[in-house]
Amino acid sequence: MAHHVLRFAAGTDVGQRRKVNEDSAYAGPRLLAVADGMGGHPHGDVASRAAITAIAELAARLSPDLPAGDDLAADLAAVVAGITRRLDDLGRQDAELRRMGTTLTAMAWGGAGFTVAHVGDSRGYLLRDGALVQITRDHTMVQSLVDGGQLTMEEAARHPRSSVLVRALQSGSDAHPDIYRQDARPGDRFLLCSDGVFGYVPHEAIRSAVAGSAEPERVVARLIDLANGAGGPDNITCVVADVLPASAGAGERVPLTIGAAGRDAAGPLARLGRRLRRA
């Protein structure tokens, strides 16, 4: 089977109103992921960092080139279960960390398609033939109401409790990720983003930004500008990946770990880590 390659970029921004960036993301030749630490709970940054650190560890175990016999669905299910155990451990060590949680939308590249693992309300989208289609289903209360016919998508987007999650990776509860295959072909462009993007930037503006440049880096920068231009009420995180024929080469292949998971050792996470070790 002909294998394709990914060209990827990722970016994150704290936005205009939050003090801390609780989003994290990873982008590499085999894995793309966004995690959004849960608002309204303390230490969402610790939770999203735990999720993306586990994704980066899986990426390090996968061959950067292609996959003979990888079982990506099993790998992702194991990573998700491991993240929940890690959050449980942290919650036992420090009562302040109990009930912290994170979304996770992760896509593992198999050479001709992705395996997706998704919990929460970060989103994956596919731009194909000029149309931008959401490929994940939000685990939100309002999505449940849409599914039940009680709200339209437009009403859901404006709902005051639109961000209330019905599923997340959280200490003290089992994770139930959606895990499924997503096909891909050369010319496809995938976007993963946190709700700081799609919650404030209209779908058509996201579509035109995603379609608007050949360079994934420029798309990431444009989406962050649009979200900040819309007031930047939340943290803003995007991963963009293009599917290219292997003959095109993928250019930059150095994995990126950004946001709370990428903060340097002097940051608040390191201080928290020291506090945990003393405890």
Q: Which residues bind Mg ion (CB under 5 A)?
A: 36, 194-196, 234
Provide, rounded to whole angstroms, the least separation between the CB of residue 22 and Mg ion.
7
**How many DSSP H helices and E strands does the chain contain?**
8, 13
Phi (first) and psi of residue 260, to 5 degrees: -60, -35
Q: Are the C-beta atoms of residues 105 and 122 closer than 8 Å to each other?
A: yes
Residue 264: exposed, middle, or buried by beta-carbon count in 10 A (0-12, 13-18, 19+)?
exposed
Of 212 and 231, the one with the shorter C-beta distance to Mg ion is 231
Provide, rounded to whole angstroms, the least separation between the CB of residue 173 and Mg ion.
19
Of 102 and 194, the one with the shorter C-beta distance to Mg ion is 194
Provide, rounded to whole angstroms, the least separation between the CB of residue 48 and Mg ion.
10
Alpha carbon distance 38, 51 (integer Å): 12
Provide, rounded to whole angstroms, the least separation between the CB of residue 38 and Mg ion.
8
Alpha carbon distance 233, 108 (integer Å): 30
Alpha carbon distance 23, 64 (integer Å): 25
Which secondary-structure segment (H or E) carries 181?
strand 178-183
Of 9 and 227, the one with the shorter C-beta distance to Mg ion is 227
Provide, rounded to whole angstroms, the least separation between the CB of residue 81 and Mg ion.
24
Of 115 and 143, the one with the shorter C-beta distance to Mg ion is 143
Of 28 and 196, the one with the shorter C-beta distance to Mg ion is 196
Alpha carbon distance 204, 199 (integer Å): 13
Provide, rounded to whole angstroms, the least separation between the CB of residue 104 and Mg ion.
13
Alpha carbon distance 148, 141 (integer Å): 11
- Residue ranges of alpha helices (H) inside 104-238 are 141-147, 153-158, 195-198, 203-211, 216-229
Provide, rounded to whole angstroms, the least separation between the CB of residue 195 and Mg ion.
4
Alpha carbon distance 209, 172 (integer Å): 39
Alpha carbon distance 174, 84 (integer Å): 7
Count of beta carbons in the 10 Å neighbourhood of residue 2 = 9
Amino acid at 2: A
Provide, rounded to whole angstroms, the least separation between the CB of residue 75 and Mg ion.
26
Of 67 and 233, the one with the shorter C-beta distance to Mg ion is 233
Of 12 and 115, the one with the shorter C-beta distance to Mg ion is 12
Of 91 and 120, the one with the shorter C-beta distance to Mg ion is 120
